[in-house]
Amino acid sequence: MKVGRGEVAAVRTMVKSLGDAAAEIGGGHARETAVHYLTTRVATWLDGSWTESVGRDLYAAASQLVHLIGWMAQDEGDQGLAQKYYAHSFRLAAEAADAELAATALRGLAVQAIDLGYRAAAVQIAEECVDQAKQLDSPKALAYYETTLADAAARDGDRKTATRFLTASQAHIERAEPAPGDSWASHFSIGRWAHHSGMILAHLGDYEAAQDHLHHALDIHGLDRRRSRAIVLADLGTVQYRQEDYEAAVDTWGEFLDYADGIQSVKVTDAIHDMQARLRRLRGVNEVDVLNERASNL
C-alpha cells in the first residue's frame, strides 16, 4: 500500500482528537478506540511503502499515538501496559530521528517511576530525558523535561537539583510561544508549568509559594480541561490542608468533586481517596460530612 501525506495527517488528527477527549474526561474513556485505530490503520500504513520523508513523519505520528495510548493506560492505572507503550513510542521516535518525541517517551517513563515511588530510577530517567533534549531549540519542550527532573529530584530529597532545574524550566517557559504546536511537548502551557512547579515547591516544603503557583494555574492561566482542573483543585486542597487552612481546603475539595464526576482517571480516583482519608481528621468543620458523602457517591 502506498502511503502519503494524507495518512500522516490522519494520524495526527486522530492523536489530537483522542488526546483532547482523554484530557477532558480521562484516559479510561478512549484507550480502546486509540488501540483499535493503531492496530487496524496505522500498523497497516507502517507496513506499506512510502518515501523517506513521508516515512519519517509517519513514524513520528505513530510515536505520538503510541505515547498517547501509554498515557491512557497509565491514567487507567495499568502501569505495566503503559511502560510497554512508552518504550515502543521511544523506538518509533528513534526510527523517525525525532529527539523531542524520544525525550517525551522518556519523560513518560520518568513520570511513571515518580508515581510508583522509584525515586532514584525517576531521577536517572529524567536526567536522560533532559540530556536527550539538549539539541532542541524549543523553550517549551525544554521546560517540560526540566520540570520533570525537578519533580523527580524534589521527591528524592535533592533540593539543590530540584531548585536548579525548576529555575531553568521557568526561564524557558517564560520565553516560550503561548500557542500549542503539533508536538506533545508543545502543549506544556505556562498554566501546566504553574501546576507542576507548585507541587514541586510543596514537596520542598514551601507551601505559600506552592499555593500561589496553583492559584496562578487555575485563575491566571485558566486550565480549561476538566480532568486537569480537577487534579489541580485536589492538589490545592491538599496544600491548604497542610497549611491548616481547613475551611479553604474543604471549599476547594468541593469544587474538585464538581469537576471529578464522570472522569475515568486513576489520578482523580486516588485524589478522592486521599481527600477522604484527610477528612477523617476534620470532624466538626463545616461541610465535611456533606463532602465525604459526595465523595463516597463518586
Burial of residue 1 (CB within 10 Å: 0-12, 13-18, 19+) is exposed
The domain limits of the chain are 225-298
- The pLDDT, as a whole number, for residue 180 is 72
- The pLDDT profile of the chain, 298 residues, written as one tens digit per residue, is 899 999 999 999 999 999 989 988 898 888 999 999 999 999 999 999 999 999 999 999 999 999 999 999 999 999 999 999 999 999 999 999 999 999 999 999 999 999 999 999 999 999 999 999 998 989 999 999 999 999 999 999 999 999 999 999 999 999 988 777 767 788 898 999 999 999 999 999 999 999 999 999 998 766 678 899 999 999 999 999 999 999 999 999 999 999 999 899 999 999 999 999 999 888 777 788 889 889 888 7
- The pLDDT, as a whole number, for residue 225 is 83
Angle at 30 between CA 36 and CA 192, to 5 degrees: 130
The residue among 142, 116, 111 whose CA lies nearest residue 126 is: 111
Count the alpha carbons within 13 Å of 196 in the hemisphere toward its beta carbon: 25
- The pLDDT, as a whole number, for residue 196 is 97
Q: Are 179 and 187 in contact (CB under 8 A)?
A: no
- The pLDDT, as a whole number, for residue 222 is 61
Distance CA 8, CA 20 (A): 18
